[in-house]
Amino acid sequence: MHESQPSLFPPIIANRHGMLAVDSLHTIYWEEVGNPDGTPVLFLHGGPGAGLSPQHRRFFDPRHYRIILFDQRGAGKSTPLGEWRNNTTQLLMEDIETLRAMFGIKQWLVFGGSWGSTLALAYGQAYPERCLGFILRGIFLCTASEIDWFLHGVEQFYPELYDDFIALIPVAERGDLLQAYVSRMLCDDPARYWPAARAWSRFEGRRVFLRPQSEEPASDTLDLGVGRLESHYMANLGFFEEGQLMRDIKRIAHLPAFIVQGRYDVICPPVSAYRLHQAWPGSRIHMIADAGHGALETGIASALVAATEQFRRLGRFE
């Protein structure tokens, strides 16, 4: 169970929602929340594959913002669930542009956490003229070193979780743990991919929060989406050239950005957020001293709401 979040806006239902076929294989779920005439904001969820939660609507004042949210390919209510084929960063960016055109939006504020921050940066660098600014949490630049940390480095802090994670893989295959998981998850045999997907999802989920949380009920939707798509994207370095997102920061350096980072984030360590801030003259950074990776940890949630409120009032970040 998550901590209560008094800083979030009250729960709100979507004004409208639907399904959009983006190719012959994938259909994505979308929703529009808040003021139809308000400042447009795009919410990008994490993972890849984690999908949306009703809580994600609550970072924004619905009287001011027109909030567009969607489940990325293979995630949440999008179909087919966990589908990795025809699923790349470049195709996700095309989906974003399809949605933007469908809603008749010229420019929007882009909000993303974890993998959502990765996708936000990639989208912004490809379409800077479509962006008003960025609110980013738990920065992940999808570099080889960050992927290695996700899989192996975290053993230094959570050795018991790491042991559980590798237990599924025979010793002979542990020299390339990522490929061992990919070979299981991206196959058509449920007896092979379900144990791998659940092990992967638990390996990540049990280290999201700084303070221990009660176990969430198992979610096949989350496990399959996260397990399959995270391993698929990591095996392909996010479909980026190494260091691409830092290399191309100049394309969005003129735009305002607010970066929120948990000091004790062991999924996306703070060095990436710090380096991004250093390279981005128009950015502000808020390092949360008593938080890990979770968007709903008290300090992180409060900082994210403060950022959306600053942008509402000023169109920039202080």
User: Catalytic residue at 293?
Assistant: yes
Which residues partner with 42 through β-bridges?
A: 68, 110
Residue 109 to residue 131: CA distance in whole angstroms: 6
| Residue 171, both tokens | 């010793």
| CB < 8 Å & 24+ apart, contacts of 15-21 | 19/77, 19/78, 19/79, 20/98, 20/99, 20/102
Catalytic member of 26, 56, 232, 293? 293
User: Catalytic residue at 114?
Assistant: yes
Residue whose tokens read 């504020």: 109
Question: Residue 112: phi, psi to the nearest 5?
Answer: -155, 145
- Label residue 90 exposed, middle or buried (CB < 10 Å: 0-12, 13-18, 19+): exposed
Residue whose tokens read 């999008």: 78
User: Catalytic residue at 277?
Assistant: no
What strands, in cross-sheet order, belong to the sheet with 108-113?
16-21, 27-34, 65-70, 39-44, 108-113, 131-137, 257-262, 283-288
Catalytic member of 114, 272, 283, 302? 114
Q: Residue 171 contacts by C-beta under 8 Å, 6 or more apart in sequence? A: none
**Regarding beta strands 131-137 and 16-21, do their DSSP bridges make them parallel or antiparallel, or are they unpaired?**
unpaired
* Side-chain half-sphere CA neighbours of 312 within 13 A: 17
Are the beta carbons of 136 and 122 closer than 8 angstroms? no
Catalytic member of 265, 272, 283, 302? 265
The alpha-helical segments, DSSP class H, found in 12-141 are 89-103, 115-126
> What separation in angstroms does the CA of 302 have from each of 8, 100, 136, 147, 274?
7, 28, 13, 28, 20
Task: Report, as residue numbers or ranges, the catalytic residues.
Answer: 114, 265, 293
